[in-house]
């Protein structure tokens, strides 16, 4: 008999489930405040849906198999291909821009490491059908507002923003060929995790000159949005990007999130389908993996067999976020919270106990009682262990008078009440 879950998978006992529910409910609350609506799709999709987006090499990272109908299928490793399929099916009927979010459980067969498992829950937020930078600002504001909803501040979280087009406009024709950009992005994507001499060797291997390498290393210095604009406002070929960045900055300020944001051109997002502004959220101390990441992917839906439609979105997983919330003391205290325990001093009073519990539950209260006869003292201990706020005590002498005692466990205070009147008001 197995002693635990499969490697990379998790059991959610009630305390851990309570943490997960807290995270997911906060995600939903903020997404709904921004007028995003929730959707979902099947956890099992045709394998082709993922190989068409990422190539056959992704199969090594999937939980894929041939089903009983002879179809090649896979547990979903991400949500974007499903989103593209669903939007394409009803593209003409959907109100634009489409503002959707989902909270799927995703599966990837990959090496376990800190902050990365083989399954996780992930918030996906996407805007489809809007090409303007206003949508980019709105999307980042949702992500930042979510971390703020957990009680995190700019001392806890930083949003690192970039745009692949910045690299094109700054370096293509200025020491870097357009055909070298994918290789350059691969180097830049690993620059923070690589020693400086390794980065220099990789850039030299590309055939770049010392001047271009020096400018690249200077370009990856993190700056505030204002500092970046000032540094490159006069740079040849970058006027369009700087102009858009100024608008982006103004919108982020209007949305109240600019103080979380820095420009970090090392954020290129390893996936080739991103076409514009990209971002990742990190803990400000740099102790964990990225909390979330995303950006604009204007060509992806069409490439997956859908319709031409500008699009952008992000994913925020529960694993790293929960680690950060635990480290900052932002998770709710473990333990159940019960409104009432109903305790009868005599087993013969069980029908009366059940009736009181039923009326309280009908009013939306959470209620528990002993399912077999127990001494009143033991029931009070059970009520405290269950986290009950109050206990309704029923005794034969009280029942005869239509009364009960309400005991508040926090301070031990007791109040004798007319039971019907109290139940009507409870």
Structural domains present in the chain: 14-327 (3.30.930.10), 338-425 (3.40.50.800)
Upstream peptide bond of 33 is cis (omega within 30 degrees of 0):
no
CA–CA distances in Å: residue 242 to residues 32, 179, 237, 247: 32, 24, 10, 9
Query: Which helix (H) or strand (E) element contains residue 369?
Result: strand 367-369
Helices (runs of H) and strands (runs of E) counted in the chain: 16, 17
Write down the pLDDT at residue 271: 61
Write down the pLDDT at residue 334: 72
Write down the pLDDT at residue 332: 87
- Alpha carbons 282 and 144: distance in angstroms, whole number: 11
Contacts of 5 (CB under 8 A, 6+ apart): 11
- State whether residue 33 is helix, strand or coil: helix
Write down the pLDDT at residue 6: 93
Tokens of 62: 């999937």
Euclidean distance between the first and the last CA atom of the chain, given in angstroms as a whole number: 48
Give 276's Cβ-side CA count (13 Å radius). 24
CA 418, 420, 425, 426 torsion-angle sign: positive
pTM of the complete model: 0.90
Write down the pLDDT at residue 1: 55
Are 219 and 172 in contact by the 8 Å Cβ rule? The answer is no
Per-residue pLDDT of the chain (426 residues; tens, 9 = 90+): 557 899 999 999 999 999 999 999 999 999 999 999 999 999 999 999 999 888 888 999 999 999 999 999 999 999 999 999 999 999 999 999 999 999 999 999 988 888 889 999 999 999 999 999 999 999 999 999 999 999 999 999 999 999 989 999 999 888 889 899 889 988 998 898 899 999 999 999 998 989 999 999 999 998 999 999 999 988 888 999 999 999 999 999 999 999 999 999 999 876 667 899 999 999 999 999 999 999 999 988 888 777 889 999 999 999 999 999 999 999 988 766 899 999 999 999 999 999 999 999 999 999 999 999 899 999 999 999 999 999 999 999 999 999 999 999 999 999 999 999 999 998
In degrees to the nearest 10, what's the CA dihedral of 395, 401, 402, 405?
A: -50
């Amino acid at each position: 008999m197995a002693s635990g879950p499969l490697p990379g998978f998790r059991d959610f006992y009630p305390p851990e489930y309570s943490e997960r529910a807290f995270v997911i409910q906060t995600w939903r609350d903020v997404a709904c405040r921004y007028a995003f609506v929730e959707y979902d799709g099947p956890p099992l999709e045709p394998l082709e849906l993922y190989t068409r987006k990422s190539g056959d090499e992704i199969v090594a990272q999937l939980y894929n198999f041939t089903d009983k109908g002879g179809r090649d299928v896979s547990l979903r490793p991400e949500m974007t291909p499903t989103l593209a399929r669903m939007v394409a099916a009803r593209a003409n009927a959907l109100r634009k821009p489409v503002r959707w979010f989902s909270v799927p459980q995703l599966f990837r067969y990959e090496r376990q490491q800190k902050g990365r498992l083989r399954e996780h829950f992930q918030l996906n937020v996407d805007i489809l059908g809007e090409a303007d930078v206003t949508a980019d600002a709105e999307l980042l504001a949702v992500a930042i507002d979510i971390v703020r909803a957990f009680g995190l501040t700019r001392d806890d979280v930083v949003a690192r923003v970039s745009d692949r087009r910045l690299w094109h406009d700054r370096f293509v024709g200025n020491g870097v060929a357009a055909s070298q950009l994918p290789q350059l992005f691969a180097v830049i994507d690993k620059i923070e995790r690589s020693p400086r001499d390794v980065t220099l060797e990789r850039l030299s291997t590309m055939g770049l000159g010392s001047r271009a390498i020096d400018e690249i290393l200077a370009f990856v210095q993190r700056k505030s949005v204002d500092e970046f604009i000032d540094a490159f406002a006069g740079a040849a070929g970058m006027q369009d990007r700087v102009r858009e960045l100024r608008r982006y900055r103004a919108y982020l300020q209007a949305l109240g999130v600019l103080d979380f944001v820095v420009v970090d051109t090392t954020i290129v997002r390893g996936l080739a389908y991103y076409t514009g502004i990209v971002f990742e959220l990190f803990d400000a101390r740099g102790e964990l993996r990225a909390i979330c990441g995303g950006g604009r992917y204007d060509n992806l839906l069409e490439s997956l067999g859908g319709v031409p439609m500008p699009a952008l979105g992000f994913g925020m997983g529960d694993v790293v976020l929960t680690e950060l919330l635990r480290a900052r003391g932002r998770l709710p205290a473990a333990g159940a919270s019960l409104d009432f325990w109903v305790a009868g001093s005599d087993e013969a009073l069980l029908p009366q106990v059940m009736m009181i519990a039923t009326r309280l539950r009908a009013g939306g209260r959470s209620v528990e009682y002993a399912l077999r006869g127990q001494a009143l003292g033991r029931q009070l201990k059970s009520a405290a262990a269950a986290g009950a706020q109050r206990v309704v005590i029923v005794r034969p002498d009280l029942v005869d008078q239509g009364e009960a005692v309400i005991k508040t466990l926090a301070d031990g205070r007791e109040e004798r009440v007319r039971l019907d009147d109290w139940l009507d008001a409870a």
